[in-house]
Amino acid sequence: MHAYRSQTCADLNKAHVGQTVRLSGWVHRVRDHGGVLFIDLRDHYGMTQVLADSDSPVFSEVEKVRSEWCIRIDGVVKARDESLVNAKLPTGEIEVYIKDLEVLGAADELPLPVFGDQDYPEETRLKYRYLDLRRQSLHDNIMMRSNVVRSIRNRMWDSGFTEFQTPIITASSPEGARDFLVPSRLHPGKFYALPQAPQQFKQLIMVSGFDKYFQIAPCFRDEDPRADRSPTDFYQLDLEMSFVTQQDVFDAIQPVIGGIFEEFGKGRKVDTDWPQISYRDAALWYGTDKPDLRNPIKMQVVSDHFRDSGFAIFAKLLEQDGTEIRAIPAPKGGSRKFCDRMNKFAQEQGLPGMGYIFWREAEQPTYEQLGGREFGPPEVANHAHALAMKLDGQWKADKIPLEGGNWMEAAGPLAKNIGPERTEAIRQQLGLGVGDAAFFLGGKPKDFQAVAGRARTVIGDELKLTDTDRFAFAWIVDFPIYEKDEETGKIDFEHNPFSMPQGGMEALEGDPLKVLGYQYDLACNGYELVSGAIRNHKPEIMFKAFEIAGYGSDEVEKRFGGMVNAFKYGAPPHGGCAAGIDRIVMLLADEANIREVIMFPMNQRAEDLMMAAPSEPANEQLRELSLRVIEVDK
């Protein structure tokens, strides 16, 4: 028999009854049932119940065993009584009577338990990550991640892509984040960089004559942490293709990403129609360039309804250049309580508040309110959803007739300020009715659209409009290449400077703020999963693009000379993208924090509490690298 196990803790079933077996694993839980000790023995594969009664030759040894001790047991497989079968376990029909036991590794008192689902502070979980990883949910996440990566590799090979590895120690990358620098011992005073992405190398692979490249690439960026972003390193599916258009890239990556979500999505619906939405429309409709399309709410511009209106705040705001008023429809949100709650949300986001209108059922107006004219049921039906009270050019009441003789009215401070005609025009534009509401934000879009986007999310969640059992994808396209600094008037890059401008050199001769790039992102359920572009492979267009942003050709040559020089020797049109492995797995695992799908993540301060990194270098190391640490006042 093997020194440690004849089977794993997931293997045994009724077919093994009567056999002597050897198992090794961790003590998940110990239960004392009055002279009979039950142990749930756990390994990587599963769980088996083992037990010892007072007749066992090692009963006294079993009594000493505690949670998370690593042990080996020899025993005889026996069938459980039918009433005691555990249908939730593959091994639930049997149990093993212990005949021999060896403690392979005793455990001290645990800083956090493995059994159970208790919440523990993240700092404790990260310091003792090896214990945290023994917990079933986290163990399952890491296994899913491994299986996702394997599936991605298989799908990419099956699609005709070839896997290559690019350097880890390299020069600075044009990704826009901070580099992690690596000092050179052989070249004192000079530094390498860990790659933010294999961007330049994968483009050079295309210039080298290879056609369809991919790798599961480690990337390193010195960034501020977020729930959906690691502060130090992450992995991405990196790919590049020669002689392709933007649509070719979409067609190549959609079956891979869609297939992964179908394979690992636990039965949730995976949308197959991936709309292409312009960056500007995404900002307008959703307040973000990574919209969650499971939420059906689309914001709209309603500025004309407030221009020269009785609501002075919006009316004066619209007198300024570049301002507008946007409405967030809220189907089923038509109560003052909900509207007040959303107004408070806006204040918590740093805004003065959000204006709102909601529509509710109303009593039929009186004869006098109708200007001396009664609406009978047939006439009400004929005037359904019409502007009912506009009699002889004058409004006589604020109520609107509906089908079947019912009436509706608008409520809220905005409705009173702008009057019934404007209010009704807003309702018709937004397609709202009784029981619905709309919220309004105004100003320069860049100042409020992020809050509007978050408000849209909250409204969708609270009103249960968002379909949570679904993965909804959208390509965000037509990113602007340039933006203007409002204070200095300087033109600079708003997005990836290496994207091919739509229209090529001719586009760069016009207004820079109208230049769009062949750049694209893939959004899913409110997260950016993929980012990519058709590359600017022509040196003359690249130099012109940088010149517009104030970068001379000498600077371009200095920073990106390796890639620019390669483009002088017959570079093919090429493009590609990168998909975040961590975010993909985070979505599939239903986790809100990316650290739940990374085996050994950093904490919020970019510290590895388990390995005590970063740490101070020894003086000998600094001398060898010709470095000196300058103390910084804290």
Q: Is 28 annotated as a binding residue?
A: no
Paired with 359 in beta bridges are: 410
How confident is the model at residue 116, as a pLDDT? 84
Asked if residue 601 has pLDDT above 90, the reply is yes
The answer to whether 33 is annotated as binding is no
Cα distances (angstroms) measured from residue 339 to each of 330, 408, 428, 486:
10, 18, 20, 34
- DSSP at 235: E
Tell me if residue 212 falls in helix, strand or coil.
strand
Sorted by where each begins, the domain ranges of the chain are: 14-105, 137-243+578-623, 295-466, 473-568
Q: Are strands 276-278 and 473-477 parallel, antiparallel or unpaired?
A: parallel
pLDDT attached to residue 174 = 59
Query: In the structure, what pLDDT confidence band is assigned to residue 540 with cuts at 50, 70 and 90?
Result: very high
Is 591 marked as a binding-site residue?
A: no
Give the separation between CA 436 and CA 430, rounded to whole angstroms.
Answer: 10
pLDDT at 385: 37
**Stretch among 395-404, 586-595, 606-615 having the lowest mean pLDDT:** 395-404
pTM above 0.75, yes or no: yes
CATH architecture of 295-466: 2-Layer Sandwich (3.30)
Going by C-alpha positions, the residue among 78, 64, 77 that lies closest to residue 30 is 64
Helix%, strand%, coil% for the chain, nearest 5: 30, 25, 45
Asked whether residue 581 is marked as a ligand-binding residue, the answer is: yes
Separation between Cα atoms, residue 362 and residue 100, nearest integer Å? 80
Q: So what's the pLDDT on residue 230?
A: 87
What pLDDT is stored for residue 351 in this prediction? 86
pLDDT at position 377 is 44
14-105 and 295-466 in the same fold: no
> How many other CB atoms are there within 10 angstroms of residue 135's CB atom?
19
Find, among 526, 548, 527, 545, the residue nearest to 535 by Cα. Answer: 545
Lowest mean pLDDT among 140-154, 450-464, 495-509: 495-509
The pLDDT score that the predictor gives to residue 105 is 98
Written as six digits, the tokens of 593 are 């924090």
Helix axes 136-158, 581-588, angle to 10 degrees: 120
CA angle 127-133-136, nearest 5°?
Answer: 140
pLDDT at 368: 58
Q: What average pLDDT is seen over the chain?
A: 91
C-alpha to C-alpha distances, 299 to 303, 443, 569, nearest whole angstrom: 12, 15, 48
- As given in the structure block, the two tokens for residue 25 are 């694993």
Pairing state of beta strands 407-411 and 47-53? unpaired
What architecture (CATH level 2) is domain 137-243+578-623?
2-Layer Sandwich (3.30)
175 a known binding residue? yes
Per-residue pLDDT tens over the stretch 121-151? 999 999 999 999 999 999 999 999 999 999 9
Token code pair at residue 236:
């991405």
In three-state secondary structure terms, 535 is: strand
Nearest-angstrom CA–CA distance, 514 and 198: 29
Q: Is the dihedral of CA 258, 259, 264, 270 positive or negative?
A: positive
Structure tokens at 151: 């599936």
Task: Report d(CA 442, CA 449) in Å as an integer.
Answer: 9
Domain 14-105: state its class: mainly beta
DSSP letter (8 states) at residue 381: H
Determine how β-strand 269-270 pairs with β-strand 394-395.
unpaired
In which band, very low, low, confident or very high, does the pLDDT at 365 lie, cut at 50, 70 and 90? low
Length of the chain: 634
pLDDT at position 223 is 85
**Residue 76, beta-bridge partner list:** 20, 97
3-state secondary structure of 457: helix
**467 a known binding residue?**
no
Answer yes or no: is pLDDT of 611 > 90: yes
Write the pLDDT tens digit of every residue in 316-335: 999 999 999 999 999 999 99
How many other C-beta atoms can be found within 10 angstroms of the C-beta atom of residue 258? 17
Per-residue confidence (pLDDT) for residue 316, from 0 to 100: 95
- Render the burial of 182-215: b for 16+ CB within 10 Å, e for the rest: ebeeeeeeeebbbbbbbbbbbbbbbbeeebbbbb
Question: Which pLDDT band, with edges at 50, 70 and 90, does 352 fall under?
Answer: confident
- Percentage of the chain exceeding pLDDT 90: 80
Per-residue pLDDT, 633: 76
Evaluate if residue 384 carries a pLDDT over 70: no
Distance CA 74, CA 96 (A): 8
